[in-house]
Amino acid sequence: MIVKWRDRGSSRTTSLSLSEDQRQCLVCGAPGAPGHTWLLKEMGDGTQIGLISDNGEDSHRISPSPVVHVRGLCEAVVEADLIDALEKFGPICYVMMMPFKRQALVEFTAVESADRCVSCGAKEPVYIAGQQAYFNYSTSKRITRPTNADNPNSGNKVLLLSIQNPLYPITTDVLYTVCNPIGSVLRIVIFKRNGIQAMVEFESVQCAQKAKAALNGADIYAGCCTLKIEYARPTRLNVIKNDNESWDYTKPYLVRRGKTHTGRQRQAILGEHPSSYSDNSYGPPCPLLPLPGNSRYKLTSVDVPDMVSYPLPQSSSSYSGHAPSSVAMVSGLHPSKMNCTRIFNLFCLYGNIEKVKFMKSVPGTALVEMGDEYAVDRAITHLNSIKVFGKRLNVCVSKQHAVIPSQVFELEDGSSSYKDFAMTRNNRFSSAGQASKNIIQPPSAVLHYYNLLCVFWQLCTEHDVPGFVKFKMFDAKPSSKTISGLLEFDSKTEAVEVLTVLNHYQIRIPNGSNPYTLKLCFSTSSHL
């Protein structure tokens, strides 16, 4: 392979011929695959470390930085694994996990330490949690902290937990079960501002540091409820009541936890969610599982309580005085622009949809029967109070426990007021495998698209919805007839409207045997 290489600190360009043993894919480590980005490994005297691509161009020359971009991590990796593997290169001052991308950013206190990390990774394998990882300099000179608590040694003992892909309810009992074995928890507050987030106050800064390292990037339940942890802004939490969403454990009336036996697996802190044990009950209490075996923060037998359990969740009932139900009531629907299909397009991101029915007696209101009460909980969390076509939705738990197709009438757009979606292939939670691939995300201005031909702007115009302002296309196989990527809109509201109208749109092509189904979801990216 012939590549062009620019020497560090000069404009001189050299043509080089690289054999397969002199290059490796930055992501997967494999030699020779077209379209990959390569890390220059060995050029004899005057070795240079940097990025090259197999198209003969200097792909994105990155100058040395104290921040290192780590790729190729295994799914079970947590922050402590990175610290264990990389602190030999120098002191680490901050780590940002990107669990769904299997990547992380590691900020060293000195650029020399980052240099040693990148250089060593180019010359010999560096293993993190038993899997070889790959390194390059980040374009950032410093990891942006989401709060002003930049210094882990600043006396901050409160952590901010963001729960990504929350397929199951997160309560104070769940977080106490996860966090307290690592360090004594004083108070917990759960809030639903940007998805599901919580603040956990520990007894000391040292406890908070250990918890962040041990849990950052871990799954609470297998394949979901992934923790992303930062230091919070407040240094103390103010709790006024003890319930599922807030608790002060310094008060004398704490709930006693039950006891059970424990099973062991690495991937999830609490293993499978209790609802997976039985169709009609929550099964035995779910145990707390151990931290990664190679973690220096691994709990000893003295630290771990004999048994802890997960209590029966009462998630949906917290939104109203009604008992939990798998039916959501949605009001504030635009009379001429919303119908059963468009409700499905929006609500299917948070759980399977069985039936949708508009209420004739209450204009602008519909009942949505979902797969279970957890799906209703997720829909309320993420869709309540959002604007769609200029009207603000109100989503709450319905008194009804099933949708009955009575009093069917015609909506303003001519479609039926009732539709059964139980057998549609567009439901995204029909199996455990399907459900684990869905990232539960609040509405954002960036949409992730799949199965799209190059006609999206035309579709926006035809359906009178806003067009995107930026786009990013992911690499596709040469034989692929469709593309996937990201679309950024001017606002979250515009993205919501586009998804509501165009999600699952059937794209037909001349002489094609089957139409392509456009699939949209909200991206974890806030901007492109």
User: For the domain that residue 92 is a member of, what is the CATH number?
Assistant: 3.30.70.330
Which DSSP symbol is given to 466?
P
Going by C-alpha positions, the residue among 118, 194, 140, 136 that lies closest to residue 162 is 194
Write out the two tokens for 330: 């949605």
Domain-embedded: residue 8: no
Domain-embedded: residue 312: no
Which helix H or strand E contains 355, and what residues bound it?
strand 353-358
Q: Do 398 and 445 lie in a common domain?
A: no
Number of domains in the chain: 4
* Rounded Cα distance, 465 and 83, in Å: 47
Helix locations, 180-245, DSSP H: 205-215
Classify burial at 331, counting beta carbons within 10 Å of its beta carbon; exposed 0-12, middle 13-18, buried 19 or more.
middle
The predicted structure's pLDDT at residue 147: 54
Q: Do 186 and 234 lie in a common domain?
A: yes
* Rounded Cα distance, 485 and 487, in Å: 7
The predicted structure's pLDDT at residue 251: 74
Q: Residue 93 is part of which domain span?
A: 67-137
Q: Do 498 and 416 lie in a common domain?
A: no
* Rounded Cα distance, 210 and 205, in Å: 9
Q: Do 333 and 417 lie in a common domain?
A: yes
* Rounded Cα distance, 382 and 164, in Å: 12
Q: Do 414 and 481 lie in a common domain?
A: no
Per-residue pLDDT in tens (0 to 9) along the chain, 528 residues: 444 444 444 444 445 444 444 444 433 344 444 444 444 433 333 333 344 444 434 434 578 899 999 998 888 788 988 998 999 999 998 898 887 778 899 999 999 999 999 999 999 999 998 889 999 998 888 887 765 444 544 558 999 999 888 888 888 989 998 999 888 999 999 987 667 899 999 999 999 999 998 899 888 888 788 899 988 888 889 888 888 888 988 875 544 443 333 333 344 676 666 554 433 333 333 333 333 343 333 344 333 333 233 333 333 333 344 467 899 999 999 999 999 999 999 999 999 999 999 999 899 999 999 998 888 988 998 899 899 999 999 999 998 888 988 889 999 999 999 999 999 999 998 887 788 778 788 899 999 988 765 677 788 888 888 888 888 888 777 776 667 889 999 999 999 999 999 999 988 766 666 778 899 999 888 777
> C-alpha angle 183/232/229, rounded to 5°?
65
Q: Do 87 and 171 lie in a common domain?
A: no
Q: Which of residues 214, 248, 282 is at a domain's end?
A: 248
Q: Do 225 and 203 lie in a common domain?
A: yes
Domain-embedded: residue 264: no
The predicted structure's pLDDT at residue 100: 73
Secondary structure (3-state) at 104 = strand
Q: Do 175 and 102 lie in a common domain?
A: no
Domain-embedded: residue 185: yes
The predicted structure's pLDDT at residue 289: 36
Which helix H or strand E contains 388, and what residues bound it?
strand 387-388
The Cα-based distances of 387 to 380, 382, 445, 494, 497 in angstroms read 14, 12, 13, 9, 9
Domain-embedded: residue 403: yes
Classify burial at 461, counting beta carbons within 10 Å of its beta carbon; exposed 0-12, middle 13-18, buried 19 or more.
exposed
Q: pTM to 2 decimals?
A: 0.52
Q: Do 449 and 480 lie in a common domain?
A: yes
Q: Do 205 and 229 lie in a common domain?
A: yes
Domain-embedded: residue 27: no
Domain-embedded: residue 512: yes
Residue by residue, DSSP assigns 118-185 as: HHHHHHS-EEETTEEEEEEE-S-SSPPPSSS---TTSS--EEEEEEES--S---HHHHHHHHTTTS-E
Secondary structure (3-state) at 354 = strand
Domain-embedded: residue 279: no
Q: Do 122 and 106 lie in a common domain?
A: yes
The predicted structure's pLDDT at residue 149: 47
The predicted structure's pLDDT at residue 143: 84
Q: Do 389 and 478 lie in a common domain?
A: no
